[in-house]
Amino acid sequence: MDTKLNKYSKQLIIFNSIFILFWLTISIFPFLWTLWGSFKVKADFFSRAEWTYALTGFNTLIETGATTTVKAYVESWFEGEFWRASLNTMIVTVSVVSISLFLGTLGAYALSRSTYKYTFYILIAALIFRAMPHITLVSGYLFPFFQLNIWGILPTTIIVLVAINQPFTLWLLYSFFKTVPKELDESALIDGCSYFQAFRYIIMPVMWPGVVTAGLFSMMLAYNDFTVTALLLNQQNYTMVPKINAFLGTIEHGGNYMWAVSSVVSATAPLFMIIWFFQRQLISGLTAGAVKG
Amino acid sequence: MPHKTFFWFILPTGLAMILFIGLPIVSSFFQSLHIETEQILMEVENCDPFGCKTNVRVDVEATEKLRQENPLGRFNGFGTYTDRNHLAFDEIGEAWNTSSSMIEFKDIVLNLPFYKALLFTLTFCFAVTPPVIILGFIVALSVNTLSKIIKGFIVFGTILPMIVTPLIGSLVLFWMIDSQGIIGASIQILFDDPNLSLKASSNLTWITLIIYGIWHNTPFAFVVFYAALQTVPQDPIEAAYIDGASRYQRVRYIVIPHLYPVATFIMLICLMDNFRVFEPIIGFSAEGVAQSLSWMIYQDLRNENKMLFGSAGATSMLTIIGIAFLLTPVLIRTWKEFRTER
């Protein structure tokens, strides 16, 4: 029965393969193109005269003596101080992920185990907070932060990103904790554990898949953020995404378009590698978080 | 769980959310009621050999002192909300009285900054969402039929546009559609028009932004649909098969009804997320022809020397009201779901 059900006609298979190929081209090709082009000079990447120049590196050969060049990478990383931006991104991402997981697991555990009605209101409040556009929050931060003189530094941004990230982390971990049977920690409580001990020694060890998923989402938020980092950090402390935008602001005059192109590749490559590695957790997380919440 | 334990568990996350999400909204509202202090003018008598003249100039010292005392500016009530850059009541009233036809009135109103931005934001929201749902569903159906071995790679490839931040995603596309980039140049050859540029006309820019929006959002719809497809019960499908239903009929009458709630969920999330569109506008350098509400706030705050807190606050509040309209159905749905769970 099952085999017959899942047997597809030839036309369907052909149509399906074509469609998938078409879709993959749309979704992957822009990135491959940018990756390839980042090793060329600007005249090739934007080659109006002959688009194959971008593939063969015609002008790159003339300008640098080889068909590929890492000039844009070297210059943007050192002259453009992209190394500082990536260091900042690393600091921000690691701190945001660890702090928001710590806060999130505690909160979500309590929410999933309490039977009182206020848990519902807290979750609804979190849902409303999740919907707030980040830029409206930033417009509320700036004035107090200037007054308190904490604008422009990394710790402020980290705390802000952790907070912005909390609603989603809470919902996601909440739906994961719900799948862990209550009997597990109840028996620990009967054996004389405190709530915190039950959480730490009984629940956390079986929760790793959920924690990894929540961590991935926190990472993507912190790593990708533009709104908060661009407006709350000073130029010195810029992370990668606002830094790329800053490159773009100056290119018209500086004439170095390729700095931005190579930085885009430098910024995307690590992210893609991490996602490739943790792909399954990401999908499972979206399922748990999205379909339920 | 006892109240006390619950309190200590929830305290850190609750505090973070109240301090950095709840309070900023209040602070934004407070700011929106104020307006930057005006410059204090003073009369100075300038005497030179040809006589004395009184000039009016800015009293820098006094202005600075006033700014120090009142950093937020002076109280303005809801004045900022109704000024030309926001709801523009006066301008609309005038347009209503002076314009001879509805079309003229519409033109005037849609040229006011706030309504212009609102129009783009809404157009973007409602133009992007339906194709995203349809395309996401088709991709999910197609991927679902593939064998396990290649599925992993294809899922990874499919979700790439969603993983990158909108700014980077739009830049990557922007470089390709540049009149000297691969797609831009190909389009010029295709239409045999060397001056054709997607950046030149406002309609084409809007369409480009919308296509970008579909490209960026489809993976999300795909993932949710893909996950939901795994939960479709097999028995009714088998029964329909025995009864002689074709594959199309099985999808149309069993799978799609099963996925309806998921589709509404995707629609609401899409609408909500796209309502805050602003990074693509920067990535595509489309500020000239396409402004969104979020972009207006960004613009008010970008200038480090003179940030327009009042104006940004007012636009923020209006954006939040817009979000509230979109959010209500989600809230009702969650409410019902939670009720049935208990």
Domain extents in chain B: 79-111, 114-341
Considering chain B, what percentage of its residues have pLDDT values greater than 90? Answer: 12
- Taking 70 as the threshold, does the pLDDT of residue A158 lie above it? yes
Q: What is the pLDDT of residue A93?
A: 94
Average pLDDT estimate for B83-104: 83
Q: Show the CA angle centred on residue B204, arms to residues B203 and B207, nearest 5°.
A: 90
- Taking 80 as the threshold, does the pLDDT of residue B124 lie above it? yes
In whole angstroms, what is the distance from residue A146 CA to residue A133 CA?
Answer: 21
H or E segment at B51?
Answer: strand B51-58
* Nearest residue in A to B140, CA atom: A20
Residue B57 pairs in a beta bridge with B42
ipTM value, please give it. Answer: 0.85
User: Do A121 and A260 reside in the same domain of the chain?
Assistant: yes
Tokens encoding B103:
């079309």
**Structural domain that includes position A221:** 76-292
- Taking 70 as the threshold, does the pLDDT of residue B13 lie above it? yes
A41: number of CA atoms within 13 Å, CB side? 13
Overall size of chain A counted in residues = 293
User: Do A80 and A106 reside in the same domain of the chain?
Assistant: yes
pTM metric for this prediction:
0.86
User: Do A6 and A54 reside in the same domain of the chain?
Assistant: no
List CB contacts (< 8 A) between A129 and chain B.
17, 21-22
| Separation in Å, CA of A113 to nearest CA in chain B | 6
CA distances to A66, A71, B198 from A50, in Å: 19, 23, 19
Are B228 and B95 spatial neighbours (Cβ–Cβ below 8 Å)?
Answer: no
Tokens encoding B227:
């996950």
Per-residue burial over B41-79, b = 16 or more CB atoms within 10 Å of its CB, e = otherwise:
eeeeeeeeeeeeeeeeeebeeebeebeeeeebbeebeee
| Separation in Å, CA of A65 to nearest CA in chain B | 23
List, for residues A241-289, the tens digit of each pLDDT value. 988 888 887 655 445 678 888 889 999 999 999 888 888 777 766 665 5
Domain count within chain A: 3
User: Do A24 and A143 reside in the same domain of the chain?
Assistant: no
Structure letter (DSSP) for residue A287: I
Q: What is the pLDDT of residue A291?
A: 45
- Is the CB of B163 less than 8 angstroms away from the CB of A116? no
B297 → closest Cβ in A135, A241, A276: A135
- Is the CB of B31 less than 8 angstroms away from the CB of A4? no
- Most confident range (mean pLDDT) of A2-6, A257-261, B128-132 is B128-132
User: Do A21 and A48 reside in the same domain of the chain?
Assistant: no
CB contacts < 8 A (A, B): 277
- Taking 80 as the threshold, does the pLDDT of residue B326 lie above it? yes
Q: What is the pLDDT of residue B48?
A: 73
In whole angstroms, what is the distance from residue A197 CA to residue B265 CA?
Answer: 37
Q: What is the pLDDT of residue B93?
A: 85
* Nearest residue in B to A268, CA atom: B164
In whole angstroms, what is the distance from residue A274 CA to residue A35 CA?
Answer: 17
User: Do A26 and A126 reside in the same domain of the chain?
Assistant: no
Q: Which of B4, B13, B272 to mutate to test the interface with A (most CBs of A within 10 A)?
A: B13
User: Do A14 and A136 reside in the same domain of the chain?
Assistant: no
- Taking 80 as the threshold, does the pLDDT of residue A45 lie above it? no
- Taking 70 as the threshold, does the pLDDT of residue A74 lie above it? yes
Numbers of helices and strands, H then E, in chain A? 19, 0
From the list B99, B313, B67, B69, the residue with the least C-alpha distance to A139 is: B313
B278 → closest Cβ in A125, A135, A245: A135
User: Do A151 and A244 reside in the same domain of the chain?
Assistant: yes
- Is the CB of A45 less than 8 angstroms away from the CB of B175? yes
Are B150 and A246 spatial neighbours (Cβ–Cβ below 8 Å)?
Answer: no
List CB contacts (< 8 A) between B154 and chain A.
20, 24
- Taking 60 as the threshold, does the pLDDT of residue B313 lie above it? yes
- Is the CB of B168 less than 8 angstroms away from the CB of A45? no
Reduce the DSSP state of residue A70 to 3 states and report it.
coil
User: Do A167 and A103 reside in the same domain of the chain?
Assistant: yes
| Separation in Å, CA of A31 to nearest CA in chain B | 7
Q: What is the pLDDT of residue A2?
A: 47
- Is the CB of A110 less than 8 angstroms away from the CB of B6? yes
The string of DSSP letters for B167-227 reads HHHHHHHHHHHSTTSHHHHHHHHHHT-TT--TTTSHHHHHHHHHHHHHHHHHHHHHHHHHH
- Is the CB of B24 less than 8 angstroms away from the CB of A137? yes
- Is the CB of B175 less than 8 angstroms away from the CB of A48? no
Overall size of chain B counted in residues = 342
Tell me what percent of chain B is helix, strand and coil, each rounded to the nearest 5.
70, 5, 20
Tokens encoding A130:
């999740």
| Separation in Å, CA of B42 to nearest CA in chain A | 29
User: Do A206 and A109 reside in the same domain of the chain?
Assistant: yes
| Separation in Å, CA of A124 to nearest CA in chain B | 7
In whole angstroms, what is the distance from residue B337 CA to residue B342 CA?
Answer: 9
Considering chain A, what percentage of its residues have pLDDT values greater than 70? Answer: 89
User: Do A151 and A227 reside in the same domain of the chain?
Assistant: yes
pLDDT band at B120 (very low <50, low <70, confident <90, very high): very high
pLDDT band at A7 (very low <50, low <70, confident <90, very high): low
Select the more confidently predicted residue: A97 or B326. A97
Are B179 and B197 spatial neighbours (Cβ–Cβ below 8 Å)?
Answer: yes
Tokens encoding B16:
């973070």
Are B245 and B228 spatial neighbours (Cβ–Cβ below 8 Å)?
Answer: no
The string of DSSP letters for A155-216 reads HHHHHHHHHHHHHHHHHHHHHHHHHS-HHHHHHHHHTT--HHHIIIIIIHHH-HHHHHHHHH
Distance separating the N- and C-terminal Cα atoms of chain A:
35
CATH number at residue A106: 1.10.3720.10
- Most confident range (mean pLDDT) of A18-27, A180-189, B44-53, B97-106 is A18-27
User: Do A134 and A50 reside in the same domain of the chain?
Assistant: no
- Is the CB of B21 less than 8 angstroms away from the CB of A129? yes
The string of DSSP letters for A220-251 reads HHHHH--HHHHHHB-GGG--HHHHHHHHHHHH
pLDDT band at B123 (very low <50, low <70, confident <90, very high): very high
Q: What is the CATH number of domain B114-341?
A: 1.10.3720.10
- Is the CB of A27 less than 8 angstroms away from the CB of B172? no
Are A222 and A97 spatial neighbours (Cβ–Cβ below 8 Å)?
Answer: yes
A48 → closest Cβ in B180, B313, B317: B180
- Is the CB of B226 less than 8 angstroms away from the CB of A283? yes
In whole angstroms, what is the distance from residue A273 CA to residue A269 CA?
Answer: 6
List, for residues B193-235, the tens digit of each pLDDT value. 777 777 777 888 899 899 999 999 999 899 888 888 887 888 8
- Is the CB of A140 less than 8 angstroms away from the CB of B158? no
What lies within 8 Å, CB to CB, of A192 at 6+ separation is: none
Are A34 and B175 spatial neighbours (Cβ–Cβ below 8 Å)?
Answer: yes
List CB contacts (< 8 A) between A126 and chain B.
17
Amino acid sitting at position B229? L
pLDDT band at B130 (very low <50, low <70, confident <90, very high): very high
